[in-house]
């Protein structure tokens, strides 16, 4: 990897992805404490996806002869007001991830690093899906509000994530 600037940005993105994973794990813990195991399962799946994203970049940096430099991860927010509060934060966070990936893509283009541009295309496509999914769940939670039976039905639905064929 020729560009030191791009290598630093990729390392920063690895840290951001691991930080995202840690945030989703904290959200899972919140939902477990609220006796909403389906919501917790959904967040654990997000945690696993973000970890996989970080590891995809980790492998890519090494494949290109770069050095991964792991950075500290701050303690994530752990107190939330409601499922609505959590999913508003999820959507806002996914939008921030998209901005970060887009900026990384732009930098790779400016640095004429076309293999990185191609690799980041996958992440851009993935972020479209991430934002869409977060928006859908957020809208469902908005419709439901604090209606107990409906919240439990959504909890059951979210608990099936990754198990449907």
**Residue 11: which CATH number?**
1.20.1260.10
Instruction: Give pLDDT, residue 162.
Output: 85
In a domain, 9, yes or no: yes
pLDDT > 70 fraction of the chain, expressed in percent and rounded: 98
For residue 109, is it within any domain? Answer: yes
Q: How many CB atoms lie within 10 A of CB 18?
A: 21
Determine, yes or no, domain membership for 117.
yes
Mean pLDDT by runs of 10 across the 165 residues of the chain is: 94 98 98 98 97 98 97 97 97 98 98 97 97 98 92 96 64
What's the mean pLDDT when you consider all of the chain? 96
Residue 44 within a domain: yes
- The pLDDT value recorded for residue 9 is 98
- Does a structural domain hold residue 101? yes
- Measured CA to CA in angstroms, residue 111 lies from 7, 103, 107 at distances of 11, 12, 6
- 165, part of any domain: no
Q: What's the confidence (pLDDT) of residue 165?
A: 35
pLDDT digits (tens, 9 = 90+) for 60-69: 999 999 999 9
pLDDT, residue 164, reads 46
Q: How buried is residue 42: exposed, middle or buried, by Cβ count under 10 Å (0-12/13-18/19+)? A: buried
Q: Which two tokens stand for residue 27?
A: 């959200």
Residue 96 has a pLDDT of: 98
Domain interval for residue 128: 4-158
Could you tell me if residue 163 is inside a domain? Answer: no
Closest CA to 164 of 26, 45, 84, 21: 45
Number of domains the chain contains: 1
**Predicted pLDDT at 163:** 64
Residue 68 has a CB neighbour count (10 Å cut-off) of 16
For the stretch 104-118, pLDDT in tens is 999 999 999 999 999
Task: Judge whether 164 lies within some domain.
Answer: no
DSSP code string of the chain: ---HHHHHHHHHHHHHHHHHHHHHHHHHHHHHHTT-HHHHHHHHHHHHHHHHHHHHHHHHHHHTT--------PPPP---S-HHHHHHHHHHHHHHHHHHHHHHHHHHHHTT-HHHHHHHHHHHHHHHHHHHHHHHHHHHHHHHTT-HHHHHHHHHHHTTTTT--
């Amino acid at each position: 990897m020729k560009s030191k600037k791009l290598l630093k940005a990729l390392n920063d993105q690895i840290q951001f992805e691991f930080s995202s994973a840690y945030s989703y794990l904290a959200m899972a813990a919140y939902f477990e404490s609220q006796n909403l195991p389906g919501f917790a399962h959904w967040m654990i799946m997000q945690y696993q996806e973000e970890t996989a994203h970080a590891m995809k970049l980790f492998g890519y940096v090494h494949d290109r002869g770069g050095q991964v430099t792991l950075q500290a991860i701050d303690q994530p927010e752990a107190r939330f007001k409601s499922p609505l509060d959590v999913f508003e934060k999820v959507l806002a966070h996914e939008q921030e991830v998209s901005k970060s990936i887009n900026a990384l893509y732009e930098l790779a283009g400016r640095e004429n690093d076309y293999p990185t541009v191609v690799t980041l295309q996958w992440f851009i496509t993935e972020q479209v899906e991430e934002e869409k999914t977060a928006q859908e769940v957020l809208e469902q939670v908005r419709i439901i509000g604090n209606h107990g039976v409906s919240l439990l039905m959504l909890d059951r639905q979210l608990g099936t994530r990754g198990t449907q064929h």
